[in-house]
Structure 1
Amino acid sequence: MTEHEQLLTNLKYLKMNEMTNHLDETINFINKNNLSFTEGLIKLTNYEIDHKEASMIKAMVKVGAFPHTKEIKDFDFSYQESINKDQILEFTSHRFIHQNENLVFIGSSGVGKTHLATSIGISAAKKRISTYFIKCHDLVAQLKKAKLENRLEDRLRHFTKYKLLIIDELGYLPIEPEDSKLFFQLIDKRYERRSTILTSNINFSNWDNIFIDPMISNAILDRILHHSHVIQIPGKSYRLKDYFSED
């Protein structure tokens, strides 16, 4: 076995697939550019690192359970002129996550709340910030089921572990008083420890209609809004723009 064959065998044994695939071209590059052993090794190992980083990012995005893979670049800011594009881009720096702050998107159906929340979440996941997306109705249903099965604390810990939790469509369905208490427990556990993004079609003054119990509603609002950025979107629905566009 030649030295080259031995090196290939070693790399395959170590499961360095990208280094194996790029070995010959790297050797040629080293010889052509008269690189040192260290420089050549850095170039070769970078192939493996880049591949593993890409795979890890892909896995983080998959774990996030996002409803789509639309990013900020896919959002039509010209259609929703009320949105401050610079502010949204600032959120993708993830400073609000590092400071345990919340984002709340308020607006009617179809204005882009979920798109923006998801895009910010995907940008966080790509930076290996643990992120999870869930519809409010599904979240409450999981907490309710966990309580019935005497494993509520485990489920609360599960949703608390994410550095960024996106709760979508808060307010589309009312939440029963007992279930509101479960939702409060989660918000309370995340308060000042983790960041949460919420989207809702209901203004804060009407959140009593969501949670039924005014005391619980106020307690939830207090914790969500204490360290938060509120983005009001009074614009038109994306979903209807093609139906009402002028010829």
Structure 2
Amino acid sequence: KKRTSTYFIKCNDLILNLKRAKLENRLENRLKHYAKYKLLIIDEIGYLPIDAEDAKLFFQLIDMRYEQKSTILTTNASFKTWGDIFQDPKIANAILDRVLHHATVVNIIGDSYRLKDHFNKENTKQGDK
């Protein structure tokens, strides 16, 4: 079987790892670590604030992977709000420019599957009474 090297990480964990690496003068090595995977999945962009300095670290990774490797980003935030998420509209635009250039955007509309499962359990419990 042929396998694709894949790495999954939540956005906040990624940012924390990049910040730590920068403080320890290992940023280039950490960026190369994330850049080596054929597929990088970054989950939950925009759930926690990303300050302008952290946005620059995120941009460096996206730029390093641009047109080289595949990246999947998950978010509930529309692209219009990315300037607020990254607290720097210029960096947000530069990230989006690279991310969307060859992208396939999949919009999923509907209720959260986690909440759906919760409400189904609640309805089942109420039906048992």
For residue 168 of structure 1, give the secondary structure of its aligned residue in structure 2: strand
1:197 aligns to what?
Answer: 72
Q: How far is 1:219 from its partner?
A: 0.2
Normalising by structure 1, we get a TM-score of: 0.48
Q: How does 1:175-190 map to 2 (within 5 A)?
A: 175-190=50-65
Amino-acid identity (%) = 67
1: CA distance, partners of 2:8 / 2:57: 18
Q: How does 1:208-223 map to 2 (within 5 A)?
A: 208-223=83-98
Which residue of 87, 106, 116 maps to 1:241?
116
Q: How does 1:47-126 map to 2 (within 5 A)?
A: none
1:230 aligns to what?
Answer: 105
Structure 1, residues 137-179: CA drift from partner, whole Å, max 9, x if none?
0000000000000110000000000000000000101101001
For residue 105 of structure 2, give the secondary structure of its aligned residue in structure 1: strand
2: CA distance, partners of 1:239 / 1:154: 37
Structure 1 runs of 4+ off > 2 angstroms? 244-247
Is 1:134 matched with 2:9? yes
Consecutive unaligned residues of structure 1, counting only runs of 5 or more, are: 1-52, 54-126
Consecutive unaligned residues of structure 2, counting only runs of 5 or more, are: none
2: CA distance, partners of 1:170 / 1:203: 11
RMSD: 1.4
Q: How does 1:139-154 map to 2 (within 5 A)?
A: 139-154=14-29
1: CA distance, partners of 2:34 / 2:114: 31
For residue 231 of structure 1, give the secondary structure of its aligned residue in structure 2: coil
Structure 1, residues 61-84: CA drift from partner, whole Å, max 9, x if none?
xxxxxxxxxxxxxxxxxxxxxxxx
Amino acid at match of 2:93: N
Amino acid at match of 1:206: T
Q: How far is 1:128 from its partner?
A: 1.4
For residue 230 of structure 1, give the secondary structure of its aligned residue in structure 2: coil
Normalising by structure 2, we get a TM-score of: 0.90
2: CA distance, partners of 1:196 / 1:220: 12
Q: Which structure would you say has the larger Rg?
A: 1
Give the number of equivalent residue pairs. Answer: 122
